[in-house]
Structure 1
Amino acid sequence: MSIDEYGGGQAQGSDILVVTTNDAPGFRVDRVIGEVFGLTVRSRHLGSQIGAGLKSMVGGELKGLTKTLVQTRNQAMERLVEQAKARGANAVLMMRFDVTEAADVGTEVCAYGTAVVLVPADAP
């Protein structure tokens, strides 16, 4: 598996800074816009469920499910960034993921945080 199949995060060159911290060093919050989130629900296809069931008997990583979850988290993050940008933010602070089962048919992934406008700390 390549790094893109089992890892993720914000794309290089994004005009929205997304951090899991309360602040961003070198910047101050000029305006708080409010909560934003990106949500997606993915179902698992029959083939991956059967493969995961068999693999769980012998142990080891469920690579197909790992890949699906990475794609799902990345999609939720992209939607979070779109929401922040649409509301006039240039950053999202305190970003988190929430993952739950959705009615036994799939996995719900929500990326959420606080949309803000950051300015350099030394700006008037």
Structure 2
Amino acid sequence: MGIEEYGGGQQEHSDVLVVTTNDVPGYDVQRVIGEVFGLTVRSRHLGSQIGAGLKSMVGGELKGLTKTLVETRNEAMERLVEQARARGANAVLMMRFDVASGSDAGTEVCAYGTAVVLAPRV
């Protein structure tokens, strides 16, 4: 797995800015729209579960599960942006991820934050 497969985040030229901070330097919040989130749940396939079980005996990174989690986080982030855009936002402030793992259900990832309309400070 190459380095590009380990990361995620926003596309370079997105029309909705997503940040983990409370504000954006040089911009003022014109309107707070409210909470938005993107949610996805992924199950692990049998092959990755068997591989993870074998790997846990000898130690080391579970690369298949790492790749699945990266893909899951990216999907949750895309859904967050879609929801913010649909509600008229051009930014999401204080974005966070919440991850929960169920033994049978798989892994749930929720990206959430506050949708706002930003304008350049004058």
Place the TM-score, normalised by the shorter chain, in its bin. over 0.9
Cα deviation, 1:35-79, whole Å, max 9, x if unaligned, reads 000000000000000001110111111000000000000000000
What's the TM-score, normalizing by structure 1? 0.96
Q: Match of 2:49?
A: 49
Inter-partner Cα distance in structure 2 for 1:62 and 1:89: 37
Query: Once superposed, which parts of structure 1, at least 4 consecutive aligned residues long, lie more than 6 Å away?
Result: none
Q: What letter is aligned with 1:32?
A: V
**CA positional deviation for 1:105:** 2.2
**CA positional deviation for 1:103:** 5.7
Q: Which residues in structure 2 correspond to 1:112-123 (within 5 Å)?
A: 112-122=112-122
Inter-partner Cα distance in structure 2 for 1:102 and 1:93: 28
**CA positional deviation for 1:121:** 1.3
Q: Match of 2:98?
A: 98
- Classify 1:103/1:87 alpha carbon distance in 2 versus 1 (closer, same or farther; 3 Å): farther
**CA positional deviation for 1:4:** 2.5
Say if 2:96 is the partner of 1:78. Answer: no
Q: Match of 2:29?
A: 29
What's the TM-score, normalizing by structure 2? 0.97
Secondary structure of the corresponding residue to residue 77 of structure 1: helix
Gaps of at least 5 residues in structure 1 are none
Report percent identity of matched pairs.
83
**CA positional deviation for 1:104:** 2.5
